[in-house]
Structure 1
């Protein structure tokens, strides 16, 4: 077993962090193409191992998941934001919280959401007008926020709350853009943007406090566990039984509010962009919707018939995975790809690198929804937009249902035209956003 995987030569103090921060997408693709299955580099002082073999990704996420944990280096700013919610908690706490949350995301419950999702989308479309230019990223954020707050928190968002959340998301996103100085600096050192970040967290906490206060007394009977089956009601009944603190409820609601809308909004944003760039695929989407739905509202029964729509969404998540990379930390010395991975080092699992790898995909940079009709002999983790293993995204089925219904309902009435010139410019943060939004002109059909 060799102890030194290949990788790019870094600079003193910064390692490869400046190259990574300039363009993480190009950096990840270049590493995948140049160095093979395990790539070693430093992000500041952090020893990092990028895995580009899907079998190794499977080991980290599934078969040997107990050897890895969420990394300590994410526990400062991200911990301040999400605390010990489902995304960051570990061990027995995570298992108990996941078990508690599971009923809110059960397949039988999710199957009953179609009408609510379409209603929220219709509220958005009522504000569109033929020929108007809109920022599709903002509009998809608005509708997916409305869905997650309704279905998982049991309330609604007025215009003031939506605007408050939107404004807070800007400094939150900026805090997690890759910064070589942050990589190299100790966590205690004050940095530009810290004050704005803390203010944004406090603002969101105020929104959450209001939502929780509104729901108290409406969440059912803690003794029989009867009552509404949204996540917040489940958490409040558990608190009445002494099983949840105020802080834990805050952490779970913050995690659900942010993680529960963002990736779906981005999936839809990139799907609209790709359809605008590929008229034949857009025509096929419209033809399928007309055949399956006509002028009727989409229902749960219709979702299964929207096969090409589903392929389009899957292909959009392949080319533009909202979560473009994930990190784990080795809890002990391990071995991957024939190399020793030291305890405490960071393991990077990049959806961007594997989703666009020439080793596993035919013409990987090409938008081709029909590639999903073929039963290609690819390893499982060449495609993992929702992660995998025991910690896979709890909202996966809700997210896919939302994306199909919102795409279908919107495309019944509109086609969307991208209005900016040139290639799409991507902004890395915790998730991958289009830089400066997604301006599109809406045309009635």
Structure 2
């Protein structure tokens, strides 16, 4: 077993961080193409091992997950934003919070929420006009935000309060774009953008405070509750915020922990689904034959009805399209872990505390696992074609005990929203191709996703 995997030689101090920051996606693809299953490089002072073998990724995320943890470098600004919520917490805290959250995300509960998701999608479509040009990314973020507020927090925000939330997303996102100076500098050194980031966090904290106040029965401008007090003998409401508030009343949840979970739910709960939808619309616009096939399936399955859970179970091609969108444009484009003790990966020794990069972007587009990987081909997710692929050649929601708890909700939302929209409109992309991509906590298109609404 060799001690050191191969990899690119970086610059003094910066390592490969400047090249990574210029274009993380090209950098990841170049490493995946040039080297074998494990490659090492320096991200500033941080020794990084990129792992692209699906079997090793499965070991890290699933079979040996207890031997790996979230890396400390994710706990600086990200910790300021999300605190000790489900995305970042470890050990007993994570297990306790995950157990609290599970009932809110059970499929049995979500099945009963399909009509409410479709209602939010219909409200969005009703606000559109034929021939109008929309920003698809903004529209998808808005509708998925309404869904997460309703289903997981039991509230509805006024449009002005939703505007306030959405206005904070850009300064938050900019803080997490790769920056070679941030890689090289200690966390305490002030950097451009810090004040805007802190202001955005404070604005969102104020919104969350108002949501809690409204759920506690106080009148708050721009916030209305959608959860009624249960009748005597009835089951208590199981939206995530209701669960957390009951735990808080029992003394099992601090105010800080409550805030961290709400912030994690607010941001992570809608962003990835909105991006999946945005890239789905882009790909359908670029591939009219696939768009027509989605329309035909929705017309046949749904007809003149509102899309519902029974319809979702029948969608086949639509599900393949959404999966193919997440393959080509994974909203979470890489996952990081670090081993708690030395481990062997790909025939190399990886020391404890090293940073592991598990890049969906590189694996999802690898010619080792996908035929013609740059091509949009939804049928690659048909049962006969996917049978021989390694399990972790496709992992948009991670995997193992720390897989995305919102996976089923995200897929349910995406199918219902697409079905609602395609019943009324085609979305015709007006921008330049190929897409330029912007790395942050998630992968956003750099350009405005302008799409013209063409009435069917």
| Superposition TM-score, scaled by structure 1 size | 0.98
- 2:221 — aligned with what? none
1:219 touches 1:234 (CA, 8 Å); kept in 2?
Answer: no
- Pairing 1:256–2:265 present: yes
Aligned pairs for 1:295-314 within 5 A:
295-314=304-323
- Please say if 1:440 is aligned against 2:451: yes
Who is 1:275 aligned against?
284
Alignment of 1:285-296 (within 5 A): 285-296=294-305
Q: Is the 8 A contact 1:174 1:429 kept in 2?
A: yes
Displacement of 1:219? 8.3
Q: 1:225 Cα deviation (Å)?
A: 10
Corresponding residue SS for 1:441: strand
2:188 aligned residue: 188
| Corresponding position of 1:376 | 387
Distance in 1, matches of 2:254 and 2:85, equals 12
Cα displacement (A) at 1:436: 2.8
Moved more, 240-249 or 333-342: 333-342
Distance (whole Å) between structure 1 residues aligned to residue 114 and residue 158 of structure 2: 21
1:56 aligns with 2:72: no
Quote the offset at 1:375 in angstroms.
Answer: 3.5
Q: Which residue of 2 aligns with 1:2?
A: 2
State the Cα deviation string for residues 386-407 of structure 1 (Å, max 9, x = none).
0000000101000000000000
Partner of 1:247 in structure 2?
256
1:416 corresponding residue in structure 2: 427
Kept in 1: contact 2:154–2:239 (CA 8 A)? yes
Distance in 2 separating the partners of 1:273 and 1:319: 12
**What residue in structure 2 maps to residue 393 of structure 1?**
404
**Distance across 2 between alignment mates of 1:176 and 1:225:** 44
Secondary structure of the 2:338 match is: strand
1:236 matched residue in structure 2 = 245
2:183 match: secondary structure: helix
Aligned pair 1:359/2:368, yes or no?
A: yes
* Correspondent of 1:320 among 316, 326, 329: 329
- Gapped runs of 5+ residues in structure 2? 218-226
Could you tell me whether the CA contact under 8 Å between 1:220 and 1:226 is conserved in 2? no
User: Partners in 2 of 1:69 and 1:375 — Cα distance?
Assistant: 30
Deviation at 1:418, TM superposition (A): 0.5
Is 1:265 matched with 2:274?
Answer: yes
Shift of 1:331: 1.3
Distance 1:99 1:225 in 2: 22
Q: Is the 8 A contact 1:71 1:346 kept in 2?
A: yes
Q: Distance in 1 between matches of 2:157 and 2:60?
A: 38
Aligned mates of 2:228, 2:76 — CA distance in 1: 33
Q: Tell me how far apart the structure 1 counterparts of residues 114 and 235 of structure 2 sit (CA, whole Å).
A: 23
**Given the alignment, which residue of 407, 424, 438 partners 1:427?**
438
Instruction: Report the counterpart of residue 94 of structure 1 in structure 2.
Output: 94
Alignment pair present for 1:20 and 2:31:
no
CA–CA separation in structure 1 for the residues paired with 2:108 and 2:143: 22
Is the 1:17–1:44 contact (alpha carbons within 8 Å) kept by the matching residues of 2? yes
Shift of 1:226: 4.6
| Alpha-carbon distance between aligned partners in 1 of 2:24 and 2:14, rounded to the nearest angstrom | 15
Give, in angstroms, the shift of residue 290 of structure 1: 1.1
Q: Tell me, in whole angstroms, the C-alpha distance in 1 between the residues paired with 2:402 and 2:114.
A: 26
Asked if the contact 1:219/1:233 (under 8 Å) is kept, the reply is no
For 1:343, what is the secondary structure of its paired residue? coil
Are the equivalent residues in 1 in contact too, given 2:435–2:447 (CA < 8 A)? no
- Report the more deviating stretch, 345-354 or 373-382: 373-382
In structure 2, do the counterparts of structure 1 residues 403 and 70 end up closer, same or farther at CA, with 3 Å as the change threshold? same
CA offsets per residue over residues 81-125 of structure 1, 9 Å max, x none? Answer: 000000000001100100011000111001111110111011111
Q: Distance in 1 between matches of 2:84 and 2:158?
A: 28
- Tell which deviates more after alignment, 73-82 or 417-426: 417-426
How far residue 296 of structure 1 moved from its aligned partner, in angstroms, is 1.6
SS in 2 for 1:156: strand
Aligned counterpart for 1:336 among listed residues 345, 349, 354:
345
User: In the alignment, is residue 210 of structure 1 matched against residue 210 of structure 2?
Assistant: yes
